[in-house]
Amino acid sequence: MKFGKSSGVPSDLAALDGKTLSLDKAMTMVSFVLLFFIVFIPIFMIVYNAFFYEGQFDTEMFKTVVFSTDNIEAMTNTIIIGFAVTIFGTIVGLFYAWLLGRSDIPCKNLMRALFMIPYMFPPFFGAMAWDMLLSGRGGYVNTWLMNTFGIETSLFNINSLGGIIFVEVSYYFPFVFMQVVSALERMDPTLEESARIAGASQKTVIRKITIPLVTPAISAGALLILISSLAHFGVPAILGFSKQIYTLPTVIYAYIDRAGGSFDGIRQGAALSILLVFVVAMALILQKVVLSSGSFDIIKGKSMRPTLIKLRGAKYPLLVLAIMTLAVIVVVPLLMIFLEGLVRAYGLPFTPENLTLDNFRNILTSKATMDSITNSLFLSVTAGVLCMFLGVMVAYVVIKIKPKGKEILEMLSVLPYSIPGTVLAIGVILSWSGALEVNLYNTIWIILVAYLARYLSFSMKSASASLQQVHPSLEEAARASGASHTESLKDITLPLIRPAMVAGFFLIFLPSMRELTTSILLYGPYSRTLGVQIFALRDSGQIPQASALAAIAIVIIIVCNFIVTQITKDRKGV
């Protein structure tokens, strides 16, 4: 009898292994199918519709659109803005990352937190604020200077290529700042110390040791700036439309808007989208060349803190410079948004008799506004939850199951964030507007599909990092004790990576709440998001009302960010 019982154990294990294999296959299949529909089909439809018409190969429309004089000018503007923002944003981000990460400047922790603020808010909020301040037609600062000093023409004009570049740099430099600060803190300090002992000056150490070693972080942040700037719609639309300064995203929007959402307008947008993809592809190749040209081993096993550089007499001048930078990029725009939300009409002086809460009251009682807030909350929460679980599943398949073709799965999950959001929106329209017998056009669901594709990589990367730290022996021990594969996942793996799942959710929730570039091409009569509603109010000339709603959005973002900070802090303490 005992022999019989023991001989039954292998068959039980075989059955358990069979169930494990079945679950692994199911997760792998679901991951491939979902990414095929969410990611591959939209990208394929862009290429297909740019070069095929009614099943026939046709390049005439592509040539007409791409080689149009106006579109060539828009492409030139896009490239100029994109690369200028990348260069200046990288310089600013690198400088302040070094200053706050490696020097003895006072108030370092507070300053570091404040320099993260621009990342939280939509860049087009800043464009609205600076347009109200420095618009050549009637900005508050220009009007005051002209009235005070009797000047006939405005001294400043934010409605220019330089103005667009300035605003985008103000909001995109944190991409490099965050990457480089983290790299500097993890860098082996003995390399710099050896150079100093050998007689190298501080400037030489920074130029030949520090910067080369953090090149991967710099290139990663710079690439994020470039992709974001190339695809951005809000800042060029707000600052450029009045002076007929167009970029590819604003031209794509104009094509679709003028055509009333017709197929011809969408095809023309798809043709221009190919150009955006081409520029981004060149940037990715350049990044690969840069990273393949050297060794960047900066993290060592021993726990060592890099030596802080003493600023001596430059300490307080640099502190003043940092405070002034924060005032320009954070305080002034936010203060302008809130003040304009209180004024009775745009252009009136900010005196007590001109201030009122009516704008806020009217906005909060407007059905269109409340619907936009509801839509954004629904999209943000739903996209966050779905992406969180889908990202964990894809990460588990790639890291733990490792099926054939896992590289394709990983590439599909991160590809949408490597292409401009405008391009992704065009692909989603072409895919889910009836061409494949599913019509989601002008509904909230088509925006959700775009958000799922756009932000999946956030949760996937977050989950991947945590799953790599979960040793396989933990799940194996659970299964050896009789737990099913599902139970080991539920009781062992998921609890261990729960902090990463929570972080992944909020990494998606926050940008979804303030998103505009993708939504502006996808919204319908009843699916306006918060960002779209603010842009629409401003576009219709209701600037105080748009500012009031932007102020409300800022409060929502601050509250959400506070909740995120508290939750992640609690998770770290667990």
Query: By CB neighbour count within 10 A (0-12 exposed, 13-18 middle, 19+ buried), where does 349 fall?
Result: exposed
| Band (263; pLDDT cuts 50, 70, 90) | confident
Alpha helices in 121-160 (DSSP H): 123-134, 140-149
The amino acid that residue 209 corresponds to is I
Say how far apart CA 463 and CA 496 lie, in whole Å: 10
Q: Which two tokens stand for residue 133?
A: 């301040």
Looking at 159-163, 224-228, 550-554, which range is the least confident one? 224-228
Sign of the CA dihedral 79, 83, 84, 85? positive
Give the whole-number percent of the chain exceeding pLDDT 70.
88
| Band (12; pLDDT cuts 50, 70, 90) | low
Coil, helix or strand for 199?
coil
Say how far apart CA 4 and CA 210 lie, in whole Å: 68
Looking at 128-142, 179-193, 230-244, which range is the least confident one? 179-193
Quickly count: other Cβ atoms within 10 Å of residue 462's Cβ: 25
Residue 4: half-sphere exposure toward Cβ, Cα within 13 Å: 1
Contacts of 379 (CB under 8 A, 6+ apart): 444, 447, 448, 451, 512, 529
Report the DSSP beta bridge partners of residue 433.
439
Say how far apart CA 99 and CA 339 lie, in whole Å: 33
DSSP code, position 309:
B
Which residue is listed with tokens 């003028």? Answer: 258
- Over range 301-318, report the average pLDDT: 74
The amino acid that residue 110 corresponds to is L
Contacts of 498 (CB under 8 A, 6+ apart): 571
Q: Which pLDDT score is estimated for 299?
A: 46
Cβ atoms of residues 62 and 54 within 8 Å: no
Cβ atoms of residues 530 and 373 within 8 Å: yes
CA-closest candidate to residue 385, choices 295, 208, 512, 207: 512
Sign of the CA dihedral 45, 47, 53, 54? negative
What Å distances lie between residue 72 and 67, 183, 255, 468, CA to CA? 6, 39, 15, 46
More confident residue, 574 or 151: 151
Phi-psi region of 102 (alpha: psi -120 to 50; beta: other; left: phi over 0): alpha
Say how far apart CA 314 and CA 159 lie, in whole Å: 35
Phi-psi region of 68 (alpha: psi -120 to 50; beta: other; left: phi over 0): beta
Cβ atoms of residues 553 and 530 within 8 Å: yes
More confident residue, 506 or 555: 555
Coil, helix or strand for 308?
coil
Cβ atoms of residues 427 and 43 within 8 Å: yes
Summary mean pLDDT of the chain: 83
The amino acid that residue 412 corresponds to is L
Which residue is listed with tokens 């300490």? Answer: 315
Residue 35: half-sphere exposure toward Cβ, Cα within 13 Å: 28
Coil, helix or strand for 81?
helix
Cβ atoms of residues 236 and 159 within 8 Å: no
Cβ atoms of residues 172 and 87 within 8 Å: no
Q: Which pLDDT score is estimated for 20?
A: 60
Q: What is the 3-state secondary structure (H, E, C) of 17-62?
A: HHHHHHHHHHHHHHHHHHHHHHHHHHHHHHHHHHHEECCEECCHHH
7 pLDDT above the threshold of 50: no
Element (H, E) at 67: none
- Over range 330-356, report the average pLDDT: 92
Report the DSSP beta bridge partners of residue 53.
56
Query: By CB neighbour count within 10 A (0-12 exposed, 13-18 middle, 19+ buried), where does 482 fall?
Result: exposed
190 pLDDT above the threshold of 80: no
Q: Which pLDDT score is estimated for 528?
A: 93
| Band (456; pLDDT cuts 50, 70, 90) | confident
Give the whole-number percent of the chain exceeding pLDDT 90.
32
14 pLDDT above the threshold of 80: no
301 pLDDT above the threshold of 50: no
CA-closest candidate to residue 423, choices 261, 241, 248: 248
Query: What pTM did the predictor assign?
Result: 0.84
| Band (567; pLDDT cuts 50, 70, 90) | low
- Over range 159-180, report the average pLDDT: 92
